[in-house]
A and B are shown apart, each in its own frame.
Chain A
Amino acid sequence: MLELKWIDVYYGNIQALWDVSLSVKEGEVIVIVGSNGAGKSTILRTISGMNKIKKGSIEFGGQRIDLLRADEIVRLGVSMVPEGRELFPRLSVRENLELGAAYIDRAYSRRTETLQWIYSLFPILHERGSQLAGTLSGGEQQMVAIGRALMSRPRLLMFDEPSLGLAPLMVDEVFKTVTKVSQEGVTILLVEQNVRQSLKMAHRAYVLENGRMVTKQSIDVDPEKCILCGECVEICPVSAIDMTVNGQPENPGRDLGRRVSRKSQ
């Protein structure tokens, strides 16, 4: 469904991504983990059209999207819950949600139904409908950001560190929502530093470091065995993560584990 091939991205003269490839299939939950500054947000911003690629290609649903504008990409069904929520602070919760559907025809015609669904996911948003978004708590703002993205009826929904700055209970809540959204048939691409919890619900994961993918392919995540929590890896003699590449067991040893652990604290 989504295919990034060998992309390079620059901010001015500074290169942020090198030869990044990744693929997401319909219905999957894919996680990208990586430390601060690894380039996770850059990947998501590039897919959504906010950054442009210098090299490579991005396809969505078989169509090249790397030359499209951000608003055109949203209309194709790719939405993002961005880093830092990016709400309209002086508009009400309800107006924020409604704006999510207002500029996308196929979502606009279903807006009432979608709004009901979002209220069932987050009943608190219904109660707070007329409150200004800027005055909500961090967790509530995250719900609005997720709700607004859902209002656009995405086929692929990208989350940029949705658990950032939230209390543990709220983090659970957000991850549960991600799972629910996935069960509704929405494909998920999630960027997280909360490795342990995000890998639990992922089908596959990618590890990004300094703007490059650590492994060429994604790693398969076995939810039972994954304990890549960043605490044990340093002392664990074998790799703490059970991973296979293309069905073949790869042996990144503790090297990969350590790389991830160092950044995930």
Chain B
Amino acid sequence: MVDWASLLQSLANGILIAGLYAAVTLGLTLVLGVMGIVNFAHGELIMLGAYSSFWLFTLLGIDPLLSLALSGVLLFFIGTGIYRFTIWPIMKDPPLNQLLLTLGLSIFFQNLAMILWKTDSRTIITSYSGMSLDLGIIHFGLTRMITFLISVVLTVLLVVFLSKTKPGRAMQAVSENNTASWLIGINVEKTYLLAFGVAAALAGAAGALVSTVMYTFPMVGFKLSLKAFCILVIGGLGNIPGTLFGSLILGITESFVGTYIPEGSGWAEGISFVLLIVILIIKPTGLAGTRRE
């Protein structure tokens, strides 16, 4: 006999967490799509966003859902700085160099965070942390619901930015063909800078969301990076619909594993590796469609 209530509840939990995963992955997708770089330090930008939200809350009492915008702005500037001083000088070098550079940045920021803030796991307890929303047979934590909604808003904002604004359309053009983009009068280097900044801002905002529903600690970005890579691989590299699809698959799979497999909550954390490996073996172009050339 199927327990419909628990199935629905599990599905709903999966969808909610998928929203957060999408917010976590979008910046990675943007940088990969526009610049062709797999940014291994993306998770660390999220970690910085989470810490900035944590400290703004702890020291100044600013609610993380408000400080989200501040984290976004802060990370935008950190992101453009990182681009300008580390990535820009080697943009013309072989892709492997850029990959190794971002890996180095990732390790640097992890260690910096350990030195500055120790390895303690920090949590934010807001006035509404324990509240939940009951919808008949299923119910949600209020915080999770809000992080989901904000993730949806961030996604919509990004899509509108990319399709309706001039710099956003320039990013799309560059992702399609950067030689052609130069030739039609787009400053491709400035577009890279902006794309990296926007991706970092998204990471900052996602980090603030993360700080409300997970522990904040120096390795949180690393943990989320692995999930994000899994999502990229599921969705096909570097496109937004694929990222949303991949987030849903991962979120729901984790949730089902947590519900239906004995001792599942431990397994759920590792399921992203299993998905990653299985998909790379059976369908390396991604479940959702084609890989970016």
Contact segment of A75-83, A117-125, A170-178, A181-189: A75-83
Q: Are B179 and A71 in contact (CB under 8 A)?
A: no
Q: Per a CB cutoff under 8 Å, which of B166, B180, B189 touches A87?
A: B180
Contact of A229 with B by CB under 8 A: no
Contact of A88 with B by CB under 8 A: yes
Q: Are A99 and B183 in contact (CB under 8 A)?
A: no
Interface size grouping (class) on chain B? 10 to 19
Contact of A204 with B by CB under 8 A: no
Which chain A residues in 64-116 approach chain B with CB under 8 Å? 69-71, 74-75, 79-80, 82, 86-91, 99-100, 102-104
Q: Per a CB cutoff under 8 Å, which of A74, A79, A82, A103 touches B170?
A: A103
Contact of A232 with B by CB under 8 A: no
> CA separation between A71 and B192, bound complex, in Å?
14
Interface size grouping (class) on chain A? 20 to 34
Taking A88-B176, A91-B176, A103-B170 as contacts, is the C-beta distance between A50 and B182 under 8 angstroms? yes
> CA separation between A74 and B180, bound complex, in Å?
12
Whole-angstrom distance from the CB of B204 to the nearest CB of chain A? Answer: 29
Q: Are B184 and A99 in contact (CB under 8 A)?
A: yes
Whole-angstrom distance from the CB of B49 to the nearest CB of chain A? Answer: 32
Question: What residues of B have a CB within 8 angstroms of the CB of A42 in the complex?
Answer: none
> CA separation between A75 and B173, bound complex, in Å?
17
Q: Are A82 and B183 in contact (CB under 8 A)?
A: yes
Contact of A148 with B by CB under 8 A: yes
Q: Which residue of A lies closest to B187 (CB)?
A: A71
Q: Are B185 and A104 in contact (CB under 8 A)?
A: yes
Whole-angstrom distance from the CB of B169 to the nearest CB of chain A? Answer: 7
> CA separation between A265 and B136, bound complex, in Å?
79
Contact of A139 with B by CB under 8 A: no
Contact of A152 with B by CB under 8 A: yes
Question: What residues of B have a CB within 8 angstroms of the CB of A50 in the complex?
Answer: 179, 182-183
Q: Are A89 and B183 in contact (CB under 8 A)?
A: no
Question: What residues of B have a CB within 8 angstroms of the CB of A75 in the complex?
Answer: 185
> CA separation between A75 and B248, bound complex, in Å?
44
A residues with CB within 8 A of B: 48-50, 69-71, 74-75, 79-80, 82, 86-91, 99-100, 102-104, 148-149, 152
Q: Can you sample 27 A-B contacts with CB below 8 Å?
A: A48-B182, A48-B183, A50-B179, A69-B182, A69-B187, A69-B189, A71-B187, A74-B183, A74-B184, A74-B185, A75-B185, A79-B183, A80-B183, A82-B179, A82-B180, A86-B180, A87-B177, A88-B180, A89-B177, A99-B173, A99-B184, A102-B166, A102-B169, A102-B184, A103-B185, A103-B186, A104-B185
Besides the known contacts A99-B184, A149-B183, 15 further A-B residue pairs in the complex with CB atoms under 8 A apart: A69-B187, A70-B182, A71-B187, A71-B188, A75-B185, A80-B183, A82-B179, A86-B179, A87-B180, A89-B176, A89-B177, A102-B166, A103-B184, A103-B185, A103-B186
